[in-house]
Amino acid sequence: MNSKKEQRILAFVQIGKILKLWGTSAVYPGYSCGLTEDEYAAGMHIVETSYTYNGWFTSEEVRKMFYNWSEELTEEKLLAWTSPFTYALEPKTVAIICAGNIPMVGFHDILSVLVMGHRALIKLSSDDAILIPLVLKIAMKFDNSLENDCQFVSGKLVDFNAVIATGSNSSAVHFETYFGKYPHIIRKHRTSIAILDGSESEEQLHLLGKDIFDYFGLGCRNVTKVFIPEDFDLDRIFKALYSFKEIKNHNKYANNYDYNKAVWLLNKEDLLENGFIIFKQDSNFTSPVASLFYERYANMASLRQTLDSRENEIQCEVGNHGVPFGEAQKPSLNDYADQVNTLEFLSHLN
């Protein structure tokens, strides 16, 4: 293996170990983790206070993201992920425009660029401007070459060879205009759906709650629409989701719940609600925060035809024949956003 690649992978393996400690609120284990006690405490403090700069980033959600990443940042997984591709012999500078809807959402792109041997020119979202710098600063302790290969910018992007940009449908038009002449990955808005066939157990429906409520439903991998058979009893889902009721205690979530309920009631929409989530029958895929759209289907063949015609709106499908219930927000390294293989894209820059 290329010695620089080996050093880089080992650096992120060490990051994985630290993220697991922070993700489980573990006490300082000693310098064996690679951090001094003060450095470890400073990182834990960021986890505990991240909500002060983004009200959606509660310590629970940040720890959840850190822990999920720790499960992927192992030497075995990183080597298996990168081994099919050639490490860059002539590094290029890749501009990365990050979203900020959930904690660390841009980290996969940054990791991809760095483990392929390229340089990352990073423009963070103002909504997530602390967590990623924290992780990369620590990574530099274990691989000092990262200091030259990571640069954060707040203004105009200049001097780059390729672009990876994530944003809304409207911002994607802007990205295409400015970056279309460069090799690029430009992602638009997507959401995730669940398909129930009626055979689901109560435990599976409970796990569906994680797909709906993790990160307050703000991620593109969160389920915002459920397709159910014509004779499916919605009370089964309501009962299965009841244990997530404490989410209503989050002020920003509660405000969204109250606002959406008021607007829909004013418009005389038919709603089902239980105090913390609103069910609305709707043909759209993306439901507002604190709500879930549902749609009944007559047969799987016709549903499949509908979904295939709208595949560009869907990030992932949860269900017995798709992503397992409860796993939507636990993507593996090989689960690429918009099904575009980032490592393959980067390998073509060599």
Q: Say whether both 157 and 288 belong to one domain.
A: no
Q: Say whether both 138 and 24 belong to one domain.
A: yes
Quickly count: other Cβ atoms within 10 Å of residue 229's Cβ: 17
CATH code of residue 7: 3.40.605.10
Domain residues for the domain of 77 are 3-189
Task: Give the number of domains in the chain.
Answer: 2
For residues 297 and 172, the model is more confident at: 297
| Mean of pLDDT values over 180-209 | 96
- For the stretch 287-337, pLDDT in tens is 999 999 999 999 999 999 999 999 999 999 999 999 999 999 999 999 999
- Residue 158: φ, ψ to 5°: -140, 160
For residue 221, give both structure tokens.
């991998």
- For the stretch 32-58, pLDDT in tens is 999 999 999 999 999 999 999 999 999
Q: Say whether both 184 and 195 belong to one domain.
A: no
- Residue whose C-alpha is closest to residue 15's, from 104, 81, 91: 104
Q: Is the pLDDT of residue 1 over 90?
A: no
Q: How far apart are CA 208 and CA 340, in angstroms?
A: 25
Q: Say whether both 182 and 201 belong to one domain.
A: no
Q: Say whether both 252 and 112 belong to one domain.
A: no
Q: How far apart are CA 161 and CA 88, in angstroms?
A: 13
Cα–Cα distances (Å) from 35 to 70, 145, 187, in that order, read 16, 18, 36
Q: How far apart are CA 154 and CA 348, in angstroms?
A: 28
3-class DSSP string for the chain:
CCHHHHHHHHHHHHHHHHHHHHHCCCCCCCHHHCCCHHHHHHHHHHHHHHHHCCCCCCHHHHHHHHHHHHHHCCHHHHHHHHCCCCCCCCCCEEEEECCCCCCCCCHHHHHHHHHCCCEEEEECCCCCCCHHHHHHHHHHHHCCCHHHHEEECCCCCCCCCEEEEECCHHHHHHHHHHHCCCCEEEECCCEEEEECCCCCCHHHHHHHHHHHHHHHHCCCCCEEEEEEECCCCCHHHHHHHHHHHHHHHCHHHHHHHHHHHHHHHHCCCCEEECCCCEEEECCCCCCCCCEEEEEEECCHHHHHHHHHHCHHHEEEEEECCCECCCCCCCCCCCCCHHHCCHHHHHHCCC
Q: Say whether both 312 and 218 belong to one domain.
A: yes
Q: The tokens 């293996």 sit on which residue?
A: 1
Task: Return the bridge partners of 163, or none.
Answer: 95, 184
For residue 254, give both structure tokens.
């509660």
- For the stretch 79-125, pLDDT in tens is 999 999 999 989 999 999 999 999 999 999 999 999 999 999 999 99
**Orientation angle between helical segments 107-115 and 75-82, nearest 10 degrees:** 70
Q: Say whether both 42 and 141 belong to one domain.
A: yes
Q: Is the pLDDT of residue 247 over 80?
A: yes
Q: Say whether both 175 and 200 belong to one domain.
A: no
* pLDDT for the residue numbered 329: 98
Q: How far apart are CA 286 and CA 341, in angstroms?
A: 24
Q: How far apart are CA 152 and CA 157, in angstroms?
A: 10
Instruction: With respect to residue 334, please indicate whether it lies within any of the assigned structural domains.
Output: no
Give yes or no for a contact between 261 and 272, defined as CB atoms under 8 angstroms apart.
no
Instruction: With respect to residue 249, please indicate whether it lies within any of the assigned structural domains.
Output: yes
What proportion of the chain, given as a percentage, has pLDDT over 70? 99
pTM of the full structure: 0.96
Q: Say whether both 114 and 253 belong to one domain.
A: no
